[in-house]
Structure 1
Amino acid sequence: KFFFCQTSGVQNIPEFVVVGLVDGVQKSYYDSNTGRPEPKTEWMKKLMKDDPQHLEWYTDRSFHTQDLFKGYIDNLRKRF
């Protein structure tokens, strides 16, 4: 599971956050302040270390999704 959160104009909170879970355990975290994924389990740390392409994929997907969510928020602002 992935949980996404997009904010706008909220101080001290990243504009965009992604939290990844497997079987209810947090495996990864990404936010727009750091701009890079953080593995939260040992097996995820190993995967990202052993397979740099997975880390690159995860980073690219996070950036892409961040842009999509920003577009959604901008579109909603124009309508309301």
Structure 2
Amino acid sequence: MPEVRFTVRWPDGTEETCYSPSTAIARHLEAGARYQLADFLARARAGLREGSRRVEAKYGFACSSALDQLARIEARAARFDRGDVLCLSLS
């Protein structure tokens, strides 16, 4: 299953490279797009959960790396009251 790395710029200007176990994330995030924080979280949740389900369908178990990545994104996002998240790249 092809994995995808996606890099985001948080509202404070820091950049983070994130992991998805599947190309499913590309249906939810677009390189160069800017998302309000709540919208980004909803998209990241949907994409990473979909990727985890695809792994489960193929291998019989959920992708713990996708769920761990989602937890890191949610923890990071909790630091901000509002702001935009820029998706810099998907590769």
TM-score tier by shorter-chain length is 0.3 to 0.5
Whichever of the two has the greater Rg, that structure is: 1
- 1 or 2 for the larger relative contact order (CA 8 Å, sep ≥6)? 2
- TM-score in terms of structure 1 length: 0.41
- TM-score in terms of structure 2 length: 0.37
